[in-house]
Amino acid sequence: MKKKSYLLVFLLPLYLLLSNYAGAPFGYSGSPGDNNRTCNQCHSYSGSGYSPTFEVTGIPADGYQPGQTYQLTLNVSNVNTARMGFEACVENTSNQKQGTFANTDGSTQAIQSNTYITHTSSGITQNQWTFNWTAPATSQGDLTLYFAVNMANGDNNSTGDYIQAGSFSIPENTGTLQEIDMSQITIYPNPANDFINLKTDKYQFDKAFIQDVSGKIYPVSIDNNQINISFLPTGTYVLTLQNEQFKSVKQFVKK
């Protein structure tokens, strides 16, 4: 009987290790609803030298509409590892899962009633994954896509694997907003280094986000008619300003 017990103890970690090649267990996306858990619960890394860059494309710039399906791509760059895996989910401000996922190819799979998306065994040798997300059937306000990525060294062991979590905002489409003529809003300086200023005699805006040429969205705050853009790479961007009735879209250049 003891021999069988020892064998079981030996095989269980091996089973868990191998099974994660084919997808992460649900609940490890790094989201608040998952208690910020990531694959660090099982994988460890004590070294340094990883500075990955994460990008999600396909998030609708004008916000999601209930029931609509969007094709999203999670891309990891500036990292060189033997294997990579991930898990992602979408939550509202109450940390409840929102919408459903579906795979578009064999590199991903939807799990836990399609509320999570993760890699498959075919997707561990790539650095980006494309999948569909269908928005909830009813309006849920602004949402957040949470993800955790495992950058593994491929030594068939749970040590030496670097885990990092991140998130991207998915704004809500607030309906048909009247678009303000661009001449009524001035942003300056343009090009700009660290800050852009807003000048308008008539309108006040309480929501703003910036979109780059790849479709990536950066939610930003408006503080005394000023927006911090110091974190942006050099390039051309589109700034969208909104309130409950109006929106304005302006292009600017970050030096």
Same domain for 197 and 155, yes or no, is: no
Q: Residue 159 sits in a domain of what CATH number? A: 2.60.40.4060
Last residue of a domain, one of 107, 141, 170: 170
pLDDT (tens digit, 9 = 90+) per residue, 183-200? Answer: 788 999 999 999 999 998
Domain coverage including residue 58: 2-170
User: Exposed, middle or buried, 138 (CB in 10 Å: 0-12/13-18/19+)?
Assistant: exposed
In angstroms, the Cα distances linking 69 to 16, 35, 135 are 33, 27, 6
pLDDT tens across 205-252, in order? 888 888 888 777 788 889 999 999 999 999 999 998 888 788 888 899
Confidence (pLDDT) at 9: 38
Residues 129 and 237 in one domain: no
pLDDT at 118 over 90: yes
Provide the number of structural domains found in the chain.
Answer: 2
Residue 81 has pLDDT above 60, yes or no: yes
Is the same domain home to 205 and 149? no
